[in-house]
Structure 1
């Protein structure tokens, strides 16, 4: 199964606001640590190394 890059969030604005709120009172190092933990949690949820590699390439703006 390829990486799904089409819009798929049921409430994208609400998610974005929750993400911003989660960082609201954090220092830059705390914010970076939150981002790292979130990435690892979501990577674990995805589970597929192939999909994760595809996501990393897409996030860097690199074509398949």
Structure 2
């Protein structure tokens, strides 16, 4: 069974961060929320495995508690 990859796995994290922040630049809060929702659904579709997605949801929910 695939597991959620929690170790750094980016080929270029700085480029990803730059692209993500550029995507949100000059957008309203509502536009940014819609973009984030679409991005989440695209990446969830790419992952596809329900157990991995549920593990990611669980980890994301804990992030605010740390």
Name the TM-score, length of structure 2 as normaliser: 0.90
Shift of residue 29, structure 1, vs aligned partner: 0.2
Query: Once superposed, what is the RMSD of the aligned Cα atoms?
Result: 1.1
Structure 1 runs of 4+ with >2 Å offset: none
Partner of 2:61: 60
- Listed as ranges, the gaps of 5+ residues in structure 1 are none
Partner of 2:30: 29
Name the TM-score, length of structure 1 as normaliser: 0.92
Count of residue pairs the alignment pairs up: 62
Higher relative contact order (CA 8 A, sep 6+): 2
- Listed as ranges, the gaps of 5+ residues in structure 2 are none
